[in-house]
Structure formats: C-alpha cells, structure tokens
Structure 1
Amino acid sequence: MNKSQPHPLEWRTGDVPVSRQFDDPFFSLDNGLAETTYVFLSGNDLPERFCDGFHITELGFGTGLNFLASLAAFRAAKTAGVLHFTSFEAFPLQSDDLTRAWGAHRANLPADACAALTQTPNLPPQIIGPDYVLQLVFGDARLTLPQWDGVADAWFLDGFSPAKNPELWEDDLMQAVAEHTKQGGTCATYTAAGAVRRALECAGFSITRAQGFGRKRHMTKGRKN
C-alpha cells in the first residue's frame, strides 16, 4: 500500500477510525486527545521540556492527533522557537478521514496546522509552519528509520497493538529508536507488553511501567541511559 491508496477504515462511536487492516482503533475509544496528552505528552515530561528546536519523533502518524496536540501544547507553553516533529508512517490516511477523525477535538487543535494537513487529498512529506517543521517519512519504518539522519529528544511509539502489528515493535526497530535518541532522551507508549519493554531495555532505555490511560492498566515510559 502507498500513500495514494486509502487506508481501509471503519468508524466507531461516530468519529473513531478503526483500521480494518489491523483490526485496531487509531486512538482510544474514550477520548483520543486526552489519551495523547496523558500517554505521549505527560509520558515524555512535556510540555515542561519544550525548548527551541525540540524534536519529537513518532512511529505511526495515524490521524495526526499526536502532532496537533503537541503543537497546541508547545504554543500554550509559550515556547519560543520551532518545534520539530518527524513521523514514520507506512499507511497514511487521506485528508477527508483526518478531518472526520479530529471530530469533537477540532476546536482544541491548531487551526492553521489542521488546514495545512488537509490542503491536498494526500499527506505531503513536509509542512513548514511559523513555529513548527513537520516531516513525514512514508514507508516501512524498519527500512526508513535506520537511514534517517536525525535524533529525537522524545519518541511517541504509537503503532497499532503489538499483537496485531508486531512489525512496528521488533527488537531491531527498538534498537534503531534508541540509536536515534539523544542521551537523556525519552520515549513513551500506551502498551506495557513485556516484549516491548524488554526490547527497549536491551536497546538502552531505562524503563518504567506506569498507570495506563482509560481502560488500559499500564503504559510504558523510558529514558535513554
């Protein structure tokens, strides 16, 4: 599948997209924006760590909700400078699906960034805004991440469930995540699967299991040693 082919979806509770390919929702059925804030922002000690040039990198762009929430938090914290956000995505959504997925959260998301993401039917590889640079790397992250020349301050590990999308949680990919993380950099994910925690530990992260969001009992946070 490439970026010109729609990701096969079904919709639950109105505006929650579920991948038919992976049989997994793109975000929490309870509240996607609250999940992003709790798991990925707070899980990486954000917005407290924001500074000019701060670089968030993500596995799984999905609906773009993590990027939009991060930019909103960056702006709310009145951080001077530019937020860098790089996301690796193999199966991008089209603009109509993004708009529907943002649903009730739209009023809390940056209007200019929403418009930039949906100005064409397919996601562009790069968007440069007044205080952000968004880079989208399309394709299999197992191939594209090792070739990437950047390093992250914080990682959002947001692939589909490890049980349904194991390719995005493989040991070698977690090693690549660590190799593209600054010393003292962090990672966070909604899953507490033992195999994921062990892979991150072996890659060089100190791992903490924390209380999960909503129906999930636990989540995972890490800091590169």
Structure 2
Amino acid sequence: MGDQHAELDWRDQAIPVSTRFDDPYFSLENGLAETRHVFLAGNDLPSRFAPGFHIAELGFGTGLNLLTAWMAWEQAGHAGPLTFTSFEAFPMTADEMARALAAFPEMGSYANRLVTAWAEDKTLSTLGGIHARVILGDARETLAAESFAADAWFLDGFSPAKNPELWDANLMAQVGAHTTSSGTAATYTAAGFVRRNLANAGFSVTRVPGFGRKRHMTTCVKAPA
C-alpha cells in the first residue's frame, strides 16, 4: 500500500475533498466543531480521560481529530501523554495537510508539530508530546494484526455509501475486539448497516443528534465482558 496516496480537489481553496470517494475530509460548516461534537462528546470526552487513555481511529485524514483530542487532553491537565493509534490507506502529503489545517488557526503549534512530523515519517514516529502512531495500509488487513484495546474509537472513514469497505462487518468486528470492556465508539454516520455491524460487534448502539445539518450520528458502548 506504500504507493497509495490521497487524491484531492479543493473546495473554496480551503476544504480538501477526496476525488476517490467524492467526500470532503471535514464539515463544510465547521470541521472543528463537528469533531468536538461527534468524536469528543460522542465518546464522553474529555470527562473519561484518565492516565494511559488510548484512542484509536479509522481514517486519519488531515489529522484534525488527533489534534482536537491532543489539545483537549492537555487542556484537561492529565499527566503523561495520550495514546492515539490511527489507520489510513491513502495518506495526503505534508503540504496538503498543512493547507487543510490552515482552516483551523486555533490548532496553532499543535498543527505545526504534526505537519513537521508527518513530513519526516507518516507513521508519526518523531511526533513528541503524544504517543501517536499511524498505521498505513488497508485497515481490513492491518487492524487484525494489532494487539491493543482502545478506550475510545473515532470511526471517521469516508461516507459509508461511498467507502463501504471501511464499515463492513468484519472490520467492525475487529473494532469491537480491539475495544476495552465498557469502551466506546462514535461516528458521524447513522447508516443502518453500520449500526447493525457495530451491534453485532458487541456494542450497545445509540442514534443521537448529529452535527449541523446531519440529523443523526451514532454512539456505542461495548458491553462489559
């Protein structure tokens, strides 16, 4: 998968849109507010943060979700770094990432540090201040090889209608298997087949109000062992 990369168009010269999946990387209204609504609040964060907390993610994209979680972690004043593991099949370049993140000036030095580390190594081996790791390749193959259990999942693949592979039953089963007892997952989509796959993966699934014009999204809690 090493030769795979993002294929982008730019809307309003600022918002990256995947031409492969015909889907924007973040909300056309307010990407940062959507990330906070869907992935932080959807996983009951930052109130659940605790030492050693581990977030995992399907779809690294621009890195906005990592930055948002990292900032929230540091603002919450926890000792020690947050652990963040993400899976990405089609990474963008560092220049593309910098251009996309320019839409969020409040990310400031966090974004600069991410872009610098991304330019050096897309697995983020050189990024300090957070235990971050991006696993490149098809998550349907790479997640099964991992042994971690995440406390919270950010499920942020492109639209299930356009990228169904990242939401299929086998992959959602792997998400469930890589989640702690009573761990959580959240996603912007409320597609029926996604919710069914998550339920079959061992989660209690709830449809809740979405962000902006999106009526619904999905939150999940893994049943205790």
TM-score range, shorter chain: over 0.9
- 1:174-199 Cα offsets, whole Å, 9 max, x none, are 00000000001000000000000000
Match of 1:180 in 2: 178
- State the match for 1:125 in structure 2: 123
User: Distance between the aligned counterparts of 2:39 and 2:164, measured in 1?
Assistant: 20
Is the 1:113–1:129 contact (alpha carbons within 8 Å) kept by the matching residues of 2? Answer: no
CA distance in structure 1 between the aligned counterparts of 2:24 and 2:48, rounded to whole angstroms: 29
Change (3 A) 1:210 1:126: same
- Give the equivalent residue in structure 2 for 1:138: 136
| Contact 2:8 2:17 (8 Å CA) reproduced | yes
The reply on whether 1:23 has 2:22 as its aligned counterpart is: yes
Task: Give the TM-score normalised by the residue count of structure 2.
Answer: 0.94
In structure 2, the CA distance between the partners of 1:220 and 1:50, relative to structure 1 (3 Å rule), is same
The alpha carbon displacement at 1:161 in A equals 0.3
Identify which of 216, 219, 223 aligns with 1:218: 216
Residue 182 of structure 1 aligns to which amino acid in structure 2? T
RMSD between aligned residues: 1.6
Shift of 1:6: 4.1
TM-score of the aligned structures, taking structure 1 as reference length: 0.94
Show the counterpart of 1:102: 101
**C-alpha distance after superposition, 1:76-124 (max 9, x if no partner):** 1111111000000000111011011112313x22515532433464642
CA distance in 2, matches of 1:191, 1:93: 23
Equivalent residues of 2:210, 2:217 under 8 A apart: yes
- Measured after TM superposition, the shift of residue 125 of structure 1 is 1.2
- When residues 192 and 123 of structure 1 are mapped into structure 2, their CA distance, relative to the original with a 3 A threshold, is farther
Once superposed, which parts of structure 1, at least 4 consecutive aligned residues long, lie more than 2 Å away?
Answer: 112-124, 126-131
1:9-158 maps to which residues of 2 (within 5 A)? 9-106=8-105, 108-109=106-107, 111-112=109-110, 114-119=112-117, 121=119, 123-127=121-125, 129-158=127-156
Query: Does the 8 A contact of 1:96 with 1:118 survive in 2?
Result: no
Structure 2, gaps ≥5 residues long: none
SS at match of 2:113: helix
Structure 1 unpaired stretches of 5+: none
In 2, Cα distance between equivalents of 1:105 and 1:67: 13
- Partners of 1:130 and 1:27 in 2: CA distance: 25
Q: How does 1:160-199 map to 2 (within 5 A)?
A: 160-199=158-197
Identity %: 55
